[in-house]
Amino acid sequence: MAASGPVDGRAGGGLDRERDIQPMTLHSFIEIAHRHMATAARAIRTTTVHVADKLRPGIVRAVEFGSQAMREKPAYCAVCLLTVGALFGTTGQGLLRSAEYNRLKADVEIQRSGLETTRREAQREVNALAARLGELQAEANRLNALGERLTRVAQLGDGEFDFDKPVGVGGVGPVRDMPARGLRDGLADLGAQLKHSGSQLSVLEALLFNRELDKNAMPTRDPIANSYVTSGFGYRADPFGGGSQLHKGIDFEANTGDPVLAVGDGVVTYSGVRSGYGNVIEVDHGNGYVTRYAHNSRLTGQVGDLVRGGQEIAKAGSTGRSTGAHVHFEVWDNGVVVNPNQFLGQAATKPAGKG
């Protein structure tokens, strides 16, 4: 029995250790933390008391020294106190000034930023107005050029419309600053007026151009340069068989090979030989008038050619029923032959026997 005691004791001890290493609960952790915190607090209090005990003699001596100095040298202490107060006051004022300076600096930065934004916006506005002004100047230049051209086309007197002369303006009353919105509205109104004026001038240009075309298409030029009429329009004695015969045109003196000229703008509608006329060329002027040039030695214009007044269309000659070189010229108005003199004007007539 006695021999079994130690064995039982070891076995019992093993069971106790197994119970000691059971898993720790949350409550156990909290208790341990509280114990450590209490220990740390005690250490802090001990250290604080120890430091206070160490500093207490010095503080006491400083207080005693100050009390003794105030009793023995009150003026000196007053000066020291005033100096310390002044130092504190100066430091405080410096801090206040520094704070005020920082505040003012921040305000200035905000104002500078606002001014820069305003400047950029104003510059954008100026750029937009400058671009619009450039457009209006270009439109005004176009209208001036168009007006000068119309003045020439309409053959207005010199100085009646001087587009380079400044326009006189005037007015009375107080002058005030114009807001940007008012300037924009004024430019918009001016642009609308220029556009309307441009449309009107364009219509007038078209009308004058058509009138100029009609004028250029009229058979008003001579069919040969530096010549004269040798036989007029109307009834005359027939140079070949005698008797009376209607002369449907006017004869102009010419030498063989002289240039025969179109009397107005038009299109060549016939270029060939006609009985009695020899080599003939005819020009349709597009306004009901057709002109005929006969007895030519050679035809230089071809059917479909666009000719201008004064342009060569043939060479003078004596082909067909003719007694000699000359230019026979006729004018037809909507299919009816008419007297060319009403277009060319009256000319001196020299008697001749050319047909």
For the segment 260-314, what is each residue's pLDDT rounded down to a tens digit?
A: 999 999 999 999 999 999 999 999 998 889 999 999 999 999 999 999 999 999 9
CA 116 from centroid of its chain's CA atoms: 27
The pLDDT-based confidence of 142 (bands split at 50, 70, 90) is confident
DSSP 8-state secondary structure symbol assigned to residue 317: B
| Distance in angstroms (rounded) separating the CA atoms of residues 154 and 142 | 18
Domain ranges of the chain: 229-344
Per-residue pLDDT, 36: 65
What is the pTM for the complete model shown?
0.46
The pLDDT-based confidence of 10 (bands split at 50, 70, 90) is very low
* Element holding 268 (H helix, E strand): strand 266-274
Whole-number percent of the chain with pLDDT over 90: 23
Per-residue pLDDT, 263: 92
For the segment 183-241, what is each residue's pLDDT rounded down to a tens digit?
A: 777 788 777 777 777 776 776 666 666 666 667 788 888 999 999 998 888 888 777 76
Per-residue pLDDT, 5: 43
CA 333 from centroid of its chain's CA atoms: 52
Q: Are 319 and 295 in contact (CB under 8 A)?
A: yes
Q: For the chain, give the mean pLDDT.
A: 75
Per-residue pLDDT, 171: 62
| Distance in angstroms (rounded) separating the CA atoms of residues 146 and 148 | 5
| Distance in angstroms (rounded) separating the CA atoms of residues 112 and 106 | 10
Tell me, which fold does domain 229-344 have in CATH? Glucose Permease (Domain IIA) (2.70.70)
| Distance in angstroms (rounded) separating the CA atoms of residues 351 and 230 | 6
CB neighbour list of residue 275: distance below 8 Å, 6 or more residues apart: 320
* Element holding 159 (H helix, E strand): none
